[in-house]
Structure 1
Amino acid sequence: MERLRSFCRKSGLVCALGTVLIGSGVGVAVAQGVWQATKVPTRTQVSTQLPRAPFPVERCINVAGALEAPNEGDWGYKIRERDFKTIRAAGFDTIRVPIKFSAHAMEQAPYTLDPTFIARIDEVVRWALRNDLTIILNLCHYTELFENPDVHERRLVALWAQIAARYQNTPAKVMFEIINEPQEAFSGPRVNQVQAEVLTVIRKTNPTRTVIFAGDNWGNIGGIDNLELPDDPYVVGTVHYYQPFEFTHSGASWMDDPPPAGRMWPRPGETRELQRDLAQIAAFRERIKAPVLLGEYGVGVEVPMRLRADWTRAMTSAFKEIKMPACYFNFTGGFDTYDRSVEQWHAPLLEALQLRPK
């Protein structure tokens, strides 16, 4: 179930409709129509009084599937320091680490984080800094918040108060991402309101820490119009991109009813769709007057390597053309770019990311 929810977030499909949409062969365009029909409009106002701080992220990769599981290792992967050495040697400067903080804290106030778990995060942070990597701590898979925000919003704020206090003396290379892919009941204006409340708590201990805000609708293009940023020079927006979903998730073995295997890319018209999407993301960045991180993009392992590399190459080049830092999904443990069984990168993917191991 947790992996299904993860799929829904990455695909941008509404979970309750996902099987029907996929099974009938209806693709991302229809799913996006569902998002538009269910979006809660918001009025966006962005102040530009303060100059923006630099956002020194260029070549980023997600290190997912470990700390975002209910318990690290449940999904077959535990982070090793050697992984960070490997990532840095390949030329990446940043890692984004999805973390299920909500599974390791008290259910009731004061919502205290488990000391053993937070000590493990300390270790991962030390490893990143030791290897000269910027690390984005991403609060991920808080499904209870999405289902019942009235109860869990204050818990989210309390979790970030603890995280912020814990890392207040770390270098600027440690960044915070408040919530991964807001969705379901946690949508519309409340997403902006709660993220702003979290930021206020973070600023009490971290006045200049980079903090990343996400739009609703699973953090995809369908939610960027709803995102508002406060007047804070250290706040960054984010969006995820897995289009066309029928291709990037085709034949996924972990899904009950995946898009059919064998989907080719690009089909006629899909290059134009990519250009339209890029223009929309660039316009989003201009509207919020802040950097935007393309926080996730990638292709599942069931897609033939040649096609995975072709799509990755096209997306990486496209994001670089609009000067947008992008964070590939994933290092290993799903959507693999690195094969731990032989301790080697998938060379076509690394080449497509315009990198090569030293």
Structure 2
Amino acid sequence: MTHDLTRARHRAGKAGLATTAALLLLAPATLGTDAFAAERATPPASTDATPMVHNRAMDAVAQMQPSWNMGNSLDAIPDETSWGNPPATKALFDDIKSQGFHSVRIPVTWSNHQSATAPYTIDPAYLARVKQVVDFALADGLYVDMNVHHDSWQWITNMPTQHDQVLARFNATWTQIADTFRNESDRLLFESVNEPGFTNTTGDAQKMALLDELNNSFHSVVRQSGGKNGTRLLILPPVGSSPDQTLMEHLAADMATLHDPNLVATVHYYGFWPFSVNIAGFTTFNAQTQQDLTDAFNRMRDIFTSKGIPVYLGEYGLLSEPNSGIVERGEMLKYYQEVAYQARLDHVTTALWDDGNFLDRNALQWRDPALYSWIRSSYRTESGTASTDQVFVPKSGPVNAQTLTLDLNGKGFQGIWQGGTRLVRGRDYAVSGNQLTLTAAELAKLTGSGAYGVDSTLQVRFSGGLPWQIQVITNDTPVLSAATGTSTSFSLPTQFRGDRLATMEATYADGTGAGPASWTTYQEFGTSFSPDYTGGALSLTSAFLSALKDGAPVTLTFHFWSGATVTYHVTKSGTSVTGTTS
């Protein structure tokens, strides 16, 4: 399996955490909807909205914040380097420690190094390698969560039809792991299984019963293995590692039957699914997207942390990679900041999912240092934001003043800088309440080069946190050209003229949605379409084209971040595709 195919599998698995029923109720959202119109005071990092319960498990998991996932390494299939990351080294964990992380999650897939038949022996050399990597992290004083990872969909998923075989293999796997690590530091935590799911079941009740059996068996095997495993913190997930209320409540009830104070609950969170993948018009971190996040963390609090059961958010992020352009950068920053904010309020420890797209493990450098700085700062405090981080100024039209809404997040507004130059309040901009207006004269000066694209970058500075960066962009309405192609390869010649694509709407003549996502007219960014700014093209994917009705004209409406919309028409006839501008 290639690295790209593996990422596709991982991404599809995360999308499964979304609630299907909720998606059916979605309506296309209005571009530019903003959830930050009102100020919200941010408590200092040392102030808690809900008092924290203190016990050994809660205190230890609190000390693990923040956490980082070494994804796509020891969990890679078939080997550690198969998915594009180099072998883990002590230097990697030295760097992670120096960056302020206090714990790491080390996902491990065992199946490719284990006999598939009894006694299910794990290759001793592989066990030794996993132990070496775990010891690297422990030597740096980091807490470590180690688990059974992609085995969940490789063979554990077959438990409904191969019950005895799966349970025997699961127990044998954990017996060997527990024996190998029985005397390791108590900073090592065991996680029973990653995102457990089961095929060929009759519903959630059966899935929960099967997972209870696995979690309870894991608990028994580890506790009976001796050494430090008698009191080691053990991490248990609900079905799918989902923050769904029913699934978490069931996990809490099952944990209570174990009568063990050294248990930790784990769930994963990848955001409100339509925003996370940019579908159905959810291009901004709007009120509905923010509410989904708030509700998920409040459920973790109400079911677990308020009752003294720690929660380790074993994975969080977005279902689109940070460098993909699928989620607009400023909206992505708001999302990551809000995760950290809610985690502080509800006493949840968060582990950033990193499959190699955040930290370059060859160079030991962050691929996007500014993004990482924002995430790192958000662990401690909130920074001020604005309704957008893009201001578009037309090249061929009059330059007008533009107003943005500030969200101060409890901070004081200090001013605006362009590089080392401070803009003059009253001349270059005005502030009234939470409304920031950039004057026409200043925007004309900032775009004086006349070249399409980013002309200037402004920093809005606040009394705390990081500055909010605003790109001032010269643009005109994009121009698309007629084209022909096939249902496997179709590209629209496009003059973007400085603008950036937000989303694409696709409809048949009767107004119904066209494309793979028939429940919405707004198709998924990257899955159905993608822009090539350097090559001057908009591509329609084979997945989108193959879903179109033969001979039925489709109207495409491309929505750009400047507010411009451009329509285009495509018709598929057999394997041929024709595109026109009128």
Shorter-normalised TM range: 0.7 to 0.9
3-state SS of 1:118 partner: helix
2:82 aligned residue (49, 58, 74): 74
Amino acid at match of 2:182: Q
Contact residue 67 and residue 97 of structure 1 kept, 8 A = yes
The answer (yes or no) to whether the contact 2:85–2:361 under 8 Å persists in 1 is no
| 1:212 equivalent in structure 2 | 235
Q: Is the 8 A contact 1:297 1:327 kept in 2?
A: yes
Q: 1:61 aligns with which of 48, 61, 68?
A: 68
SS at match of 1:66: coil
Separation of aligned partners in 1, 2:82 and 2:21 = 30
- CA 1:107–1:167: 2 relative to 1, 3 Å: same
Q: Structure 2 regions of 5+ residues with no counterpart?
A: 25-54, 200-205, 379-582
**For the residues of structure 2 that align with 1:118 and 1:200, how far apart are their CA atoms?**
21
1:238 partnered with 2:266 = yes
Please show how residues 1-358 of structure 1 align to structure 2 within 5 Å.
2-13=6-17, 28-30=18-20, 53=57, 54-55=59-60, 56-70=63-77, 71-78=79-86, 79-142=88-151, 143=153, 144-149=155-160, 150=163, 151-185=165-199, 187-204=207-224, 205=226, 206-216=229-239, 218-222=240-244, 223-227=247-251, 228-229=254-255, 230-250=258-278, 259=279, 264-286=283-305, 289-299=308-318, 300-301=321-322, 302=324, 303-330=327-354, 332-333=355-356, 336-340=357-361, 343-345=364-366, 346-355=368-377
Does the residue aligned with 2:145 lie in a helix, a strand or coil?
strand
Q: Deviations over 1:303-337 (max 9, x none)?
A: 3443332211111111112121111111x42xx22
Greater Cα offset, 4-13 or 134-143: 4-13
One-letter code aligned to 2:80: E
Q: Deviations over 1:140-176 (max 9, x none)?
A: 0112111335131221111001100100111111110
The amino acid that maps onto 2:84 is: G
Contact kept, 8 Å, 1:189 with 1:226, in 2: the verdict is no
TM-superposed CA distance for 1:112, in Å, is 0.8
2:74 counterpart letter in structure 1: L
Shift of 1:198: 1.3
SS of match in other structure, 1:73: coil
Q: Is the 8 A contact 1:6 1:141 kept in 2?
A: no
Distance 2:335 2:262 in 1: 32
Letter of the aligned partner of 2:184 in structure 1? T
Deviations 1:269-328 (A, max 9, x none): 222232222221211215864111111111322134433322111111111121211111
The count of corresponding residues between Structure 1 and Structure 2 is 313
Q: Which runs of 5+ in 1 are unaligned?
A: 14-27, 35-50, 251-258
CA distance in structure 2 between the partners assigned to 1:263 and 1:3 by the alignment: 23
Q: What is the alpha-carbon distance in structure 2 between the residues aligned to residue 137 and residue 193 of structure 1?
A: 20
Q: Contact 1:94/1:134 (CA < 8 Å) preserved in 2?
A: yes
Please give the TM-score of this superposition, normalised by the length of structure 2.
0.50
2:241–2:267 CA contact under 8 A, matched in 1: yes
Which of 1 and 2 has higher RCO (CA within 8 Å, sep 6+)? Answer: 1
Shift, 1:189, TM fit: 1.4
Q: When you count helix as a share of all residues, which structure comes out higher?
A: 1
After superposition, the CA RMSD in angstroms is: 2.4
Change (3 A) 1:192 1:352: farther
Cα distance in structure 1, aligned partners of 2:111 and 2:302: 34
Inter-partner Cα distance in structure 1 for 2:284 and 2:91:
34
Deviates more, 1:170-179 or 1:74-83: 74-83
Structure with higher Rg: it is 2
Contact 1:265-1:307 at 8 Å conserved across structures: yes
Distance in 1 between the 2:275 and 2:342 partners? 18
- Residue matched to 2:572: none
Percent identity between the aligned chains? 26
Which residue pairs with 1:19 in the alignment? none
Superposed CA deviations along residues 100-122 of structure 1, whole A, max 9, x for unmatched, are 01221111111111111111101
